[in-house]
Amino acid sequence: MKVLVVLAGFIALCSCSAIPQVPGDNSHYVEGVSRFIWMPDGDGVPHLVDLEEPVDHSVLNSRNGANNEYLLFTRQNANSPQTLINGNANSVRNSNYRANRPTKVIVHGWNSDRNSKVNTMITSAYLAVQDVNVIVVDWRRLANSNYITASNGVPGVGQFLGNFLIWLFNTGGGNWNQLHLIGFSLGAHVVGNAGRVAGGRPIRVTGLDPAGPRWGGNNQALNRQSGVYVEAIHTDGGSLGIFDRIAHADFYPNGGRNRQPGCLISTCSHSRAYELFASSVRTNHFVGRQCNNINDAKNNRCAGASLHMGNGILNKRGNGIFGLRTGSSWPF
């Protein structure tokens, strides 16, 4: 019997350390145990990540949040961004930034940049339906390092973003009650930190499948103190995304896990969060129903009060766990 127990333990250890063979398939993954996981880049292409890879301190120290770039898009320059430079008032005065407009801030995740799909989809959705300032945060210099290094740098990236927004509003004008922060994967934790640096004043913060590996129970993750109303949309919970409730309102479309409709692999389900959000900004057609508990959300057994998932409404409020079903292709 003792030999069988030892053998079973050895097999479990090997399975948790084994390199998964199918790109994007994280069915092997056990949170807090597995060493390897597939993660998508900004184009949705899976890359194998070693969660035990050491932090590259030279990169972390040289490519911190001071290297953030802030790219402004408005209806006047929907395809040609203007760069806002922290500390340079003329970069704001000479831009199309307008203090009387709502401001939307979008932050990408790991191995991504300004041109990644999350940014282009959400920016175009907003400018199609609202006259707003959209600020895309490009933190690629750190985000494109190994996952562990990028993950360790998230609080610093968020701190610099929060301080930039304080400076922007003090310099160019702006209203915290018209500010919506949106972040995908690691970017969700970036906006979480930024919101807290700003004293929780942003009227709305949205986390799109907030990154899971190394973030479960992390006090620097997105949480309810990050804004007046904080929302999370979980689409690959327990794998690339956090499954636990972390916001005022947590939405679990199609059970909040892989496989999302139309997806065969985890990396697709993870990216589905920003696709659903972009669609909701345009049409606001996703209606969640309140769940009794997270297990009911996982199993699509929710029939309580209604609350729309996503959208760009600044005065939106809600509290609880919500489930809903979506389609398998745009607009879902």
Domains of the chain: 53-324 (3.40.50.1820)
Catalytic-residue membership of 28: no
Q: What is the mean pLDDT of each run of 10 residues along the chain (332 residues)?
A: 33 60 96 95 96 96 94 98 98 98 98 98 98 98 97 98 98 98 98 98 98 95 98 98 98 98 98 98 98 97 98 97 98 98
Pairing of β 179-184 and β 204-208: parallel
| Predicted local confidence at residue 9, as pLDDT | 36
138, 270, 271, 296: which one is catalytic? 270
Dihedral, CA of residue 38, residue 40, residue 45 and residue 49, to nearest 10? -40
pLDDT at 164: 98
Cα separations (Å) of 261 from 51, 100, 255, 307, 325? 28, 40, 10, 21, 9
Catalytic residue among 138, 209, 250, 296: 209
Q: What pLDDT does 16 receive? A: 62
Question: Does residue 47 have an active-site annotation?
Answer: no
From the candidates 95, 185, 226, 239, which is the catalytic residue? 185
Cβ 240 vs Cβ 211: under 8 Å = yes
User: Quick check: is 209 catalytic?
Assistant: yes
Structure confidence at residue 18 (pLDDT) = 81
Give the C-alpha separation, 230 to 88, whole Å.
30
Long-range contact set of residues 296-301: C-beta below 8 Å, sequence gap at least 24? 296/321, 296/323, 297/250, 297/252, 297/255, 297/256, 297/321, 297/322, 297/323, 298/243, 298/252, 298/255, 298/256, 298/257, 299/255, 300/254, 300/255, 300/325
